[in-house]
Every structure is written in structure tokens, then in C-alpha cells.
A and B are shown apart, each in its own frame.
Chain A
């Protein structure tokens, strides 16, 4: 068997996978490496992966002291959490109604959801900016969260998942005396965790890494999200202290990497979304 396990085909497959992994990981690896290099070494002509002189402590100290990294991370957590919670609270009842209730506007709503999927945030950015400006809510969590509170993608994702929920289950719940809200809270949500987890990945990753919208509505460092903070950091450092910049980048990417590694199994489950067994 062991001879078979290293057949030519297998070696080839491993080689291709390894090559692919290297290509995708290279920038991140280079970032980790640069975060440990002194200014002089970064601009030297030789390209080394292992820093000759370990400057991690120095660079990380700079990254943590020059901008308030803690505020950035906290803002990131608050904004992502608020967006995710509001999206789920809005999308689940909406998707439930579209999947399991019969009403006249269901088709129209489906069309609207599909249209909504086609419109990027960039298209509506300007009107939203003007509106927020008039409402005087620029530079606030509201401005960061509100445009994403209704996620058509979430509605679409949950809709597909809820359609697979057995109708009998919903009807049994009705006979047991649950209201529609009760059904959503007590029957649908507890059985929709795979879908909610899958959506959490998409939502949190997208909004943690989002630079465009925070850049539009936030100019005050107190409300900056991590990617925007990096931009401020570069500006503050006149854009040439790459060691510290890479250290800062490393810090803000770490939470997502850590979260993925810890919950890897659930993430994969969520994405593959093995259906619910009745």
C-alpha cells in the first residue's frame, strides 16, 4: 500500500497543490518576514526571507504605539459584530417568510432580492454619503453599520437553506401552538446554524477587510476600522516605515487567521452545508 500511496499521480498532485499553496501564501509569508526586518534591510538589494537582524520587537512596538491599535481592533470587532447581528436579525425572518409563507408579493420580493444582489455598494455610495452627511451621522458606528444592515446575500443564502427545511416541521410547530416568530426563534434558527455559520464567514471577512466604505464615511481616527487605521498609520509614518507597517498589518490580520484556525471544522461544515436530517 505504501508503494501505491506515493505513485506518480499522487506526487504530481501534491506538487501542484504545494505550488499553489506557495503562490497564495507567498505575500503573507513575505509580510511576516518584512515585519521582522529593520528599515535598512528592507531597502537593501538582497532579498532574504529570514531577517538578518531580528527587529520584531522594535517594529511591533512602533506599530502598537504610533496609532492606537487597540482602538482599531475594537472598532473592527464592534462594527463587524453589529453588522452581522443586524443582518441576521433582518434576513432570517425575511427569508423564512419568503421560503415558507404564502403571500402575494413573494415573487416580487424574490425579484427584488435578485436585483439587490446585482447592485454593488459602490453604486450607492454617493447618495448614501450625502444622506448620512445631511443626517450628521458621518464619523459614527451608525454610518459604518447602517448601509449593510439589510443583506440581500444573507436573505438569498437563508432562503435556499430554509426551503430545504421540511414543511411538516413548521406545521407541527404551528399545531403545537407557536406563533410565526416563535417558529423562527425556536425551530428555524436552532436548525439553521450551518447556514448562519457560513454567512458569518462571508460577512465578517468582508467587513473586517473592507476599506472602501470606512474610507468614505470616516475621517476621525476614533471610528477607524483596522484597514482604514493602516491607511492612517501609513500617512502618519510618511509611508516609508515598511517594517512597522507590516507588523501592524500582521496584527490586524491575526484575529481572522486565529478565528479560522480555531473554528476550522465548523467553517468547513458551514460552507459545505450538509442538509438537515429530519
Chain B
């Protein structure tokens, strides 16, 4: 049974639909990354799950309980904020202890001065302290417990925020871009740590990020949200190799996927360069379609008789690979290729090249954005004229 389920969540802000019926389920111990460009509604969705915001419609089920009308504190979800939101007036240790104290001690026991005199609270406080220490040891922040947030670095604050969220063993763990305030090196390091912590705790985690590499590298499944709609929820490899929507394909992958507009003929066949693809969906025939191919599946060679003639516009050297920007002579479309430095060494700006696309890697999309399933029929002889 899924531990967290969202059904048809909708939210409007002043007539603007921010969330248009989002549904999502998380299994026990799963790590789901919610990724999308800024303003796509992913943070709003997270806040609705946490109970910090109200949905206009839809259901939220946590551990089999419908929680739409349950207060944030009673949902047993923990959240790590982008700004960490540590209490500035409390030390790290006190920060971590707050959620435990709020749950274990009664209002009277928490009352200053009087609370300390009541029976039973001493035992609970000692217990809380012990748990805080354990948590701190697990996150290697035991030496920071007496410091206030203002005296800590960004990375340290982030760990304290993690500790505060994890210490009470929530049933769902929500993270709102927890790494975006760290510098690049620390971010990559912290990624690994969060994944490790997640494995150990086994709490289902929803991780909001706008960084696709974070999403792909950390998550069991990636949910791509664009414009208030969840376009696809799939394991990282699948969502990258087999995107269900042109926007998903465009959002994931660096550099971006090449998209060229072309035509499907009346028999449902698309020809582009040396490629011939047969569409298997029942999409309208004889219509414009989009052909997408990721830069790593574009080959460039100096063959003057290639079907897709292009000119190199500029190259970007990135160390292990080189990004080559070319422009097709026939239709003026830009095509980006990712090649090895060895392959790139023979290329120079302005040089005519011929573009080849790996046949099984080309994807077709309808003009509305949906993916069209297609299979390669044949790779035509290279002398055939480019189709545009």
C-alpha cells in the first residue's frame, strides 16, 4: 500500500491555476524527486502536503489516513526548508529538540520555571537530550550543538535542519530545495549524504528541486512538473530515455534535446535525413510532428555526401566532452551534438559537416507535446535528399 497518495490536487491563486489536478503515489521507503522549472507549482504542492497551504480540491492520504483537514502538526510530516528556517535564538541542540519537546511534553511541562518543577518531566527531558545526541552523532554535528544558527556555515545549518526534521521519525519527509543555498562542491557531497540518510531511515521522501542533475542522481523516481501538471513520474533512466512529453524531454538533459519540426505523411511515416520512422499511435496522419534527439545521439562527420548538411557554429569544451552547435543548411534549424574531444578535434568553426542521428534514439512528439511511439523502418541510403 502506498504510504502517501495525492489525488487530483488543485490550487488556484487569484484565478491563476497553480496546480491542475496533480496525482502522485509514493511507496514505502521511496525517494521521489519533484522537479520542474521555477513557478511550476512544485513547492506549492509540497506545502499542501505538509498542511501549510490548503488545496482547493483533491485528496491527500498519508499512511492510509485522509489528512486534507488535519493540521500541519498532526500529519506527522517533517520538512526541510530551502532557508533551513532554524530558530535563530536557539542553539543547534535546542533547535533539534524542539519537535520532540512539543510532542512529548505537555503544555504545562513546557511552561518556563513551573514546568521544571513537575514530576516526570525530568525523565522525558533526559530522553529528548539522548535522542538529540544520537541524531547529532548520526549527522556529525555533535560539536555544533551549543552554537546558534548565526554562528554556523550554510552546510552546518543544513545538517541541523535535517537533524531537526529527522529526529521525530516522521511518516513522510518533505524537502524543499534543501541544497540550493550551498556552494557547488558541498552540494554534490550533500546529495550523497541525503541519499545515504534516506536509505538508513527508510522514510518516504519527497524532494523538490529545480536542478535536474539532483533529481536524476538522487531519486528512485522522478516526477516532472511543468505548468501545474505532473507530466511524468518514472525512474530516472526511463524518464530520460523515454519521456512522455516534449516538455519533459526539453526539461531534462544538458544540453537540451534537439527538436526539429517535420511532417508525418498520410501513411504515418516520418522521414528526416537518413531516418524513416513509422508512427504506431493513432495520431492524425499528414500532420506536422516534432522530432527530438538528444545531443549525445547526434554524430558529426566530414562526409560531404551526408543527407543532413550543416555548418559548425561554435564549440564548447567541457573537459570530458565537447558541445558542438551546428546549423542545418536546408532548414536553418540548430542542432547540438555532444561529442568526445577526439571527435571534436577535427572540427572548426564554420566547417561544413554532415549530421547523422542514431536511428533508435530519435523520438517523435505530436505538436501538442505528447509522445508518439514510432519504430525505425529503414535507414535510407545516405544520398537521399534531406527532408524538410
Contacts and interface: CB of A to CB of B under 8 A. Distances in A.
Interface of A: 166, 168-169, 171-178, 182, 186-187, 190-191, 276-278
B135 to A, nearest CB: 14
Given A175-B72, A175-B79, A169 B50 contact: no
Interface in B73-117: 73, 77-79, 81-89, 98-99, 102-103
B88 A176 contact: no
6 contacts: A168-B81, A169-B88, A171-B50, A177-B103, A187-B87, A191-B88
A176 B73 contact: yes
Given A171-B52, A172-B79, A277-B150, A177 B99 contact: yes
B78 to A, nearest CB: 7
Contacts of A278: 83-85, 88, 149
Given A174-B51, A278-B149, 12 more contacts: A168-B83, A168-B85, A169-B87, A171-B52, A171-B81, A172-B81, A174-B52, A175-B51, A177-B99, A191-B88, A278-B83, A278-B88
Contacts of A173: 87
A166 B83 contact: yes
B264 to A, nearest CB: 49
Nearest to A170: B85
Contact of B99 (A168, A176, A276, A277): A176
A177 B164 CA distance: 12
B242 to A, nearest CB: 37
A171 B85 contact: yes
B82 A168 contact: yes
Contacts of A182: 102
A272 B355 CA distance: 65
A116 B98 CA distance: 38
A232 B12 CA distance: 66
A176 B98 contact: yes
Given A177-B73, A178-B73, A277-B150, A172 B102 contact: no
Nearest to B89: A190
A89 to B, nearest CB: 16
B87 A175 contact: no
A174 B89 contact: no
A161 to B, nearest CB: 14
Contacts of B88: 169, 191, 276-278
Interface in B209-263: none
B150 A169 contact: no
B50 A175 contact: yes
Given A276-B88, A278-B88, A177 B83 contact: no
A44 B47 CA distance: 78
A224 B108 CA distance: 40
Interface string B37-64: 0000000000100111000000000000
A191 B86 CA distance: 12
A177 B71 CA distance: 9
User: Taking each of A177, A182, A190, A277, which has the highest tally of chain B beta carbons within 10 Å of its own beta carbon?
Assistant: A177
A176 B83 contact: no
A186 B81 CA distance: 19
A-B complex: 10 closest residue pairs judged by Cβ atoms: A177-B102, A168-B85, A172-B85, A190-B89, A177-B73, A168-B81, A176-B99, A174-B72, A171-B52, A169-B85
Contacts of B73: 174-178
Contacts of B79: 171-172, 175
B143 to A, nearest CB: 22
A83 B368 CA distance: 67
A267 to B, nearest CB: 20
Contacts of A172: 79, 81, 85-87
A190 B95 CA distance: 14
Contacts of A190: 87, 89
A67 to B, nearest CB: 39
Contacts of B149: 278
A193 to B, nearest CB: 9
Contacts of B82: 168
Interface in B164-183: 164
A190 B72 CA distance: 23
B102 A176 contact: yes
B57 to A, nearest CB: 19
A178 to B, nearest CB: 6
A182 B106 CA distance: 12
B95 to A, nearest CB: 9
Contacts of B78: 175
Contacts of B47: 171
A272 B103 CA distance: 38
Contacts of A169: 85, 87-88
Contacts of B85: 166, 168-169, 171-172, 278
A187 to B, nearest CB: 6
Contacts of B102: 176-178, 182
B254 to A, nearest CB: 29
Contacts of A277: 88, 150
A166 B88 CA distance: 11
A241 B20 CA distance: 82
Nearest to A181: B107
